[in-house]
């Protein structure tokens, strides 16, 4: 994407009521105004709050929002020019139960209060295979601790990945750290929803679920 196009998207993001782009110091040095208040101040209801971490273009968040109108969704990514797509679709189609937050996942516990979140989705994260990239892997031990903090005690995290490495790494870590794995599908050919739908997340892919203790 050219820098002109990116700039256009950044500018348009600024005009969308469903896009939030707090500066690092707003999150880290102060109590972010929406922390603990996403439902009360933005969604204005008490519906379950669901996050998609590393949402890319935000297609999955938008699709989930359409499918589950009684839940609130927030797609999070550091790349605003990517989730511009999802934010614009939500504005154009008047989908009010989805928003987008531009921040680093490392700061997620500064943007959400303890036990504020009902569910987390991580969809096709970069597996970050090299050892020195471990700190960037979105299911590493530090990230899991942050997710556990913001999730409700019975909250769940869903991971979808097509990476054999990510599969083994995450499953091993979840077991090793005492999380309860609710569901793990290894069969890449026999997963529900794998036929007849073009949406890419319906493709047969490995999927893991665990419940945070």
- Residues engaged in binding ligand SAM (CB under 6 A): 54-56, 77-79, 82, 104-106, 123-126
Task: Output the smallest distance, CB 93 to ligand SAM, in A.
Answer: 19
Tell me whether residue 125 or residue 155 sits nearer to ligand SAM (CB atom). 125
Task: Output the smallest distance, CB 109 to ligand SAM, in A.
Answer: 13
Q: What is the 3-state secondary structure (H, E, C) of the chain?
A: CCHHHHHHHHHHHHHCCCEECCCHHHHHCCCCCCCCCHHHHHHCCCCCEEEEECCCCCHHHHHHHHHCCCCEEEEEECCHHHHHHHHHHHHHCCCCCEEEEECCHHHHHHHCCCCCEEEEEEECCCCCCCHHHHHHCCCCHHHHHHHHHHEEEEEEEEEEECCHHHHHHHHHHHHHCCCEEEEEECCCCCCCCCCCCCCHHHCCCEEEEEECC
Give me the catalytic one of 14, 29, 126, 154.
Answer: 126
Task: Output the smallest distance, CB 2 to ligand SAM, in A.
Answer: 18
Let me know if 49 is exposed, middle or buried by CB neighbors in 10 A (0-12, 13-18, 19+): buried
Task: Output the smallest distance, CB 201 to ligand SAM, in A.
Answer: 7
Task: Output the smallest distance, CB 160 to ligand SAM, in A.
Answer: 8
Tell me whether residue 126 or residue 154 sits nearer to ligand SAM (CB atom). 126
Q: Which two tokens stand for residue 154?
A: 């019975």
Tell me whether residue 22 or residue 125 sits nearer to ligand SAM (CB atom). 125
Tell me whether residue 34 or residue 101 sits nearer to ligand SAM (CB atom). 101
126 included as an active-site residue: yes
Angle (CA) 158 128 6, round 5°: 85
Tell me whether residue 47 or residue 163 sits nearer to ligand SAM (CB atom). 163
The residues carrying an active-site annotation are 126
């Amino acid at each position: 994407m050219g820098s002109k196009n990116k700039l256009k998207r950044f500018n348009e993001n600024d005009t969308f009521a469903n896009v939030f782009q707090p500066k690092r110091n707003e999150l880290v040095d102060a109590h972010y105004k929406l922390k603990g208040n996403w439902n009360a101040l933005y969604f204005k209801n008490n519906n379950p709050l669901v996050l998609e971490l590393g949402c890319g273009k935000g297609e999955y968040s938008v699709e989930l929002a359409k499918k589950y109108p009684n839940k609130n969704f927030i797609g999070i990514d550091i790349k605003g020019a990517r989730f511009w797509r999802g934010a614009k679709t939500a504005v154009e189609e008047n989908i009010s139960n989805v928003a987008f937050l531009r921040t680093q996942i490392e700061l997620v516990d500064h943007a959400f209060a303890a036990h504020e979140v009902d569910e987390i989705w991580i969809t096709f994260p970069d597996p970050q295979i090299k050892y020195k990239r471990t700190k960037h892997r979105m299911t590493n031990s530090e990230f899991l601790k942050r997710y556990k903090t913001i999730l409700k005690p019975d909250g769940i995290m869903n991971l979808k990945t097509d990476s054999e490495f990510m599969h083994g790494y995450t499953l091993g870590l979840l077991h090793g750290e005492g999380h309860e794995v609710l569901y793990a599908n290894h069969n890449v050919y026999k997963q529900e929803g794998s036929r007849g739908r073009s949406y890419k997340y319906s493709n047969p892919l490995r999927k893991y679920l665990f419940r945070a203790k």
